[in-house]
Structure 1
């Protein structure tokens, strides 16, 4: 098609999806979306998959179903391994190359273990759907192992160590507490669940350090009341298949060490030949293009966003819509605009009937049951499809009133099992 602008988007996370979503509404633009998976994952709810609260189908949406009926987008399931900035070409591990008039680099992030000894080999990260499935199997397997052989409890089989007290770590610690205190006692009647322990470790001296002091205090007190033991102001020095060693010298016996301790840009950032900044992320200009390459955008967790914005889904999503607007503006001969993030607030679920919500720039604070309902409402609306929204609400409602976590299938037995060493 004459005058058609070819846009190649690398990555189908919140940034890449929002860019594609807006561009496919435009005439004269063709999108090629490349991702190593065939689905978009709703990362804020991965911890609920890991703790058996909702099904996998409600956090994953295939790209082809999402863009069904759109003739100006091609979906390619491939892993991009390098790019040529000068020719605006991306190369994949599978051997294909894709060239565009515009490149959008939204390859996202991967777990950062900060060179912690043994963490990569012995901990369970929680940053993608594969992580969530693996961790869910590990958590349920721990209770099955303890039920089969109660002597393992003294070796730490029911000790859960969560590294990182940001939203991800705080939310899964609270969800684990709900499982142990509410749902599992009915299913493991003969198991001494009172011996199960949850530890939340962070180098910061506060839970949810990005939140207000009032929210931090509420979160810490709520977790403490539910049995979560806080280890704040401490680092994890090393991780083995039997324990986590803290900077205080404390050894916590555990076979389930959950890593929610930070992110870094995906490996592709190192292969781009572009300037990297904090966390390995690509440096961008105010309009999200890369200096010297006006037809290449980097956004979301893959980029060092202007103003050092937090790595939130809302930031990634807004940057995607903004990038699409700038691509459309360029096509029409209009100037690009500097990215302006609209801060709508932050929120975190602490557990049953407990959440913290801070709304808008002025951070109006909500805690407790009303914040809990607000969190559920907002996240149900943000899910990709109507079916997912309805099913998530139904599953949350059933779980709330029945006090059961229904999705406890151990389907990743090999990945979940840790060989016990004496």
Structure 2
């Protein structure tokens, strides 16, 4: 049972979101004289950097997910509620949720981000985002469903739209996902679908700027593009999506591709409950904070991770939307709250320490930037695997992931190619018209 403010012995810190930032805040407040309450719509933490491997069948969903309650089973000052947070009342210092209202002394908004379709409702309706475990499983099912549908078509022309896979967005998500789908084409298609030719399947990566992995070094960008092309991915640079009706995706250069599968990884936007005034919302639907992660105009309220926009002289465009930034902000906020409770001064602003960036482009191919050090190829791939393996929560998850990766490396043919819950995408309007006219 959670006590009301007047009944509690210690201040309450409410954390909205069980992602990298929220988890770090809770962990750093262990043994502090506070009551930590985490609220999330899911009862598990997701290791998002490996989400694409769930989407392509390399890993099961539970290999990159870990129960939040189990994660904090030894932390006596931690409590968890699985709920939707509906509204933040800054005057009453309360959060209203789907399971009740909770008061707070300090509030940390770490609710993360969702896909940004930049106002294109048609694209949002028919394309597949990948910001949650369920969305990754939808992609896995839908890719396999389209391969099954292609087998049923008699001629190549009828099969083509089922075998064209378009990934929009040339960041780490898009690059890693397109490389993984290309490996399905190279190593799995002939074995599982002998009726289909690997030459019929096409993987497209669409990027609006002039290079992929723009946040990494020029060399990493060039290397990753080269690796993608070696895998057979058709890289389309300086190309922007203008529409997608569920059957045909169109671009600003006048080109189009017939496809049933468009996976959207071109942008993200912050997601958070109602109650934050519009004056404090920055581009990308992010909450503006000062240099100490505090939401301006909101007493005792912090925002960290993808949902925050720390616009300062040192970070005029905000912090990068990566896990290390969220984790470092989480540790900073926990220390900031602890200092307030101990009557210690908080004079320093948050400074992000960039440990480096990396991305994998299929088997034996990856790029790594660590300061002035650049790695590519097989050694970069080993580095990428080692870092991600250490970062996954739970010994079982680490072991399962390592075993899966080892089997895939040795056989080139591992994977969870199961359609458990068939994904039903909205029926395109053009298809509906065809059905009506035929009847």
Coarse TM-score class (shorter-chain normalised)? over 0.9
> 1: CA distance between counterparts of 2:276 and 2:101?
14
Equivalent in the alignment of 1:327: 337
For residue 221 of structure 2, give the secondary structure of its aligned residue in structure 1.
Answer: helix
Higher mean C-alpha deviation, range 146-155 or range 190-199: 146-155
Instruction: Give how far 1:291 is off.
Output: 2.2
Q: Specify every segment of 5 or more residues in structure 2 that has no aligned partner in the other structure, as ranges.
A: 1-6, 435-439
Per-residue CA deviations over 1:109-148 (Å, capped at 9, x if unaligned) read: 1110011251111000111111100000011111111122
For residue 38 of structure 2, give the secondary structure of its aligned residue in structure 1.
Answer: strand
Per-residue CA deviations over 1:227-251 (Å, capped at 9, x if unaligned) read: 1111111110001110110001111
Higher mean C-alpha deviation, range 271-280 or range 31-40: 271-280
The structure-2 alpha-carbon separation of the partners of 1:267 and 1:327, relative to structure 1 and needing over 3 Å to count, comes to: closer
> 2: CA distance between counterparts of 1:62 and 1:242?
39
Instruction: Give how far 1:13 is off.
Output: 0.9
For residue 142 of structure 2, give the secondary structure of its aligned residue in structure 1.
Answer: helix
Q: Is 2:290 aligned against 1:285?
A: yes
The structure-2 alpha-carbon separation of the partners of 1:363 and 1:112, relative to structure 1 and needing over 3 Å to count, comes to: farther
Give the 5 Å matches for 1:252-267. Answer: 252-267=257-272
Higher mean C-alpha deviation, range 371-380 or range 189-198: 189-198
Instruction: Give the aligned length.
Output: 417
> 2: CA distance between counterparts of 1:2 and 1:56?
38
> 1: CA distance between counterparts of 2:424 and 2:14?
34
Instruction: Give how far 1:170 is off.
Output: 0.6
> 2: CA distance between counterparts of 1:400 and 1:186?
17
The structure-2 alpha-carbon separation of the partners of 1:267 and 1:100, relative to structure 1 and needing over 3 Å to count, comes to: closer
Equivalent in the alignment of 2:396: 387
Say which of 345, 349, 356 aligns to 1:338. 349
For residue 200 of structure 1, give the secondary structure of its aligned residue in structure 2.
Answer: strand
CA contact (8 A) 1:347 1:356 kept: yes
Equivalent in the alignment of 2:4: none
Give the 5 Å matches for 1:1-400. Answer: 4-23=10-29, 25-92=30-97, 94=98, 96-151=100-155, 153-268=158-273, 271-273=275-277, 275-306=280-311, 307=315, 308-336=318-346, 337-359=348-370, 362-400=371-409
For residue 281 of structure 2, give the secondary structure of its aligned residue in structure 1.
Answer: coil
The TM-score normalised by the length of structure 2 is 0.91
> 2: CA distance between counterparts of 1:112 and 1:398?
36
Per-residue CA deviations over 1:332-378 (Å, capped at 9, x if unaligned) read: 1112231111110000111111001001xx34111000000111110
Q: Which runs of 4+ in 1 moved over 6 A?
A: none
The structure-2 alpha-carbon separation of the partners of 1:95 and 1:39, relative to structure 1 and needing over 3 Å to count, comes to: closer
CA contact (8 A) 1:117 1:239 kept: no
Higher mean C-alpha deviation, range 26-35 or range 412-421: 412-421
Instruction: Give how far 1:150 is off.
Output: 4.4
RMSD over aligned CA atoms reads 1.7
Higher mean C-alpha deviation, range 290-299 or range 239-248: 290-299
CA contact (8 A) 2:160 2:201 kept: no
The structure-2 alpha-carbon separation of the partners of 1:29 and 1:284, relative to structure 1 and needing over 3 Å to count, comes to: same
Q: Specify every segment of 5 or more residues in structure 1 that has no aligned partner in the other structure, as ranges.
A: none
> 2: CA distance between counterparts of 1:38 and 1:143?
33
Per-residue CA deviations over 1:56-106 (Å, capped at 9, x if unaligned) read: 1111111111112332111111111110112221111x2511111100111
Equivalent in the alignment of 1:408: 417
CA contact (8 A) 2:270 2:306 kept: yes
The structure-2 alpha-carbon separation of the partners of 1:418 and 1:369, relative to structure 1 and needing over 3 Å to count, comes to: farther
The TM-score normalised by the length of structure 1 is 0.95
